[in-house]
Amino acid sequence: MNRISDGSGHDGEDGLMQRMLFENDLPRASPVAPFKTQLLKWIGSKQRSAQQIISYFPNEFDRYIEPFLGSAGVLATLAPKRAIASDVFQPLIEIWQTLHDAPHTLKDWYATRRRRMMSGDKVGEYEKIKASYNANPNGADLLFLCRSCYGGVVRFRKADGFMSTPCGIHTPIDAESFAARVEEWRRRTAGASFQVMDYVEAMRKARKGDLVYCDPPYKDTQKILYGAQAFDLRRLFEVIGDCKRRSVFVALSIDGTKRSGDLVCDIAMPNGLFEREVFVSCGRSMLRRFQMGGQTLEKEIVADRLLLTY
């Protein structure tokens, strides 16, 4: 049984974070400490807002299931005793499986590629690594690309999955720092089984009392992600409904607001599917920073909607 006890401190976020759709929804105390150290850079990562998202999880649940794993920010912050963590993107899951099964290999993947980049033509070596990935998509290349690409925005072409993001202007963290992150992340995700599967299969594994957290590619703001262009939100609603009928708890993050609160997502929600709806602050948009060439983002504050079946 995963148990979340009530915390005593406030979550520390401000502004848009506390915007609620129901007047009787008050700011929640956080049951877990924030965890800010990233292993992967990834569009749509919820690591910055994971502490607040988790504050809306049930106090007790059995297994934790995350079928759109991405960079695993919520999983690592929660650090559940038992979890199923899955994604359809095989190179991504290869990274997570290697984290558990061969952490030294993961460290070597990163160190070898960083050494190549820093000892030669930085952009030229990056492009060689990117070409290697595009010729044969694999976790080793993807690991380094997501940490060294521009803005941390790993974008894929719809037609063939070609990764197109240019080299970042920053210097990737050194191999020793990355190795330390591997050890911390391995500890925090020790209870998870990492599997390649689509969300329908993963959510069918959920049993009464389990908690499913869904963070699918967003309809309006994440169309450059793998599989996002063909994602069918209506089908996800059907699967969530099936989970609810089986007494499975489901929390869904979905497009909410951006640009100082202007509504982005206008999707008709099935009647009776969700019991509560709150806004969770995500800070400033990584994707918009990429699109705006590093300009200031004071007006690009983003908040997601968190929909709960309980």
Q: Does residue 289 have a pLDDT over 50? A: no
Strand partners, 305: 254, 279
Give me the pLDDT at residue 24, please.
39
Phi first, then psi, for residue 262 (nearest 5°) are -65, 135
What are the angstrom distances between the C-alpha of 56 and each of 60, 84, 213, 237, 267?
11, 20, 11, 20, 22
Local confidence band at 60 (pLDDT 50, 70, 90 cut-offs) = very high
| Single pTM value for the model | 0.84
The full set of domains in the chain, from first to last, is 2-89+192-308 (3.40.50.150), 96-177 (1.10.1020.10)
Identify each DSSP E strand in 168-308 by its residue range. 192-196, 211-214, 249-258, 262-263, 276-284, 301-308
Q: What is the DSSP letter of 27?
A: P
Local confidence band at 269 (pLDDT 50, 70, 90 cut-offs) = confident
The Cα 28–Cα 8 span in angstroms is 10
Q: Does residue 42 have a pLDDT over 70? A: yes
Q: Helix and strand tally (H, E) in the chain?
A: 10, 10
The Cα 184–Cα 195 span in angstroms is 21
Local confidence band at 291 (pLDDT 50, 70, 90 cut-offs) = very low
**How confident is the model over 152-193, as pLDDT tens digits?**
888 888 778 899 999 999 999 999 999 999 999 999 999 999
Residue with tokens 């998509």: 137
Q: Which residue has the higher pLDDT, 123 or 220?
A: 123
List, in order, residues 6 or more apart from 84 with CB less than 8 Å away.
63, 64, 65, 66, 67, 192, 193, 195, 202, 205
Give me the pLDDT at residue 18, please.
37
Give me the pLDDT at residue 151, please.
87
Are 84 and 96 in contact by the 8 Å Cβ rule? The answer is no
Local confidence band at 7 (pLDDT 50, 70, 90 cut-offs) = very low
Give me the pLDDT at residue 39, please.
98
Burial 57-92 (b: 16+ CB within 10 A, else e): beeebbbbbbbbbbbbbbbbbbbbeebbbbbbbebb
Q: Does residue 296 have a pLDDT over 90? A: no
Q: Give ∠ CA 29-40-108 in degrees, rounded to 5.
A: 135
Q: Does residue 259 have a pLDDT over 60? A: no
Identify each DSSP E strand in the chain by its residue range. 2-3, 60-61, 64-66, 83-87, 192-196, 211-214, 249-258, 262-263, 276-284, 301-308
**How confident is the model over 275-286, as pLDDT tens digits?**
999 999 876 554
Task: Pull the structure tokens for residue 256.
Answer: 């909410």
Mean pLDDT over the full length of the chain: 84
Give me the pLDDT at residue 283, please.
63
Mean pLDDT of 69-77: 97
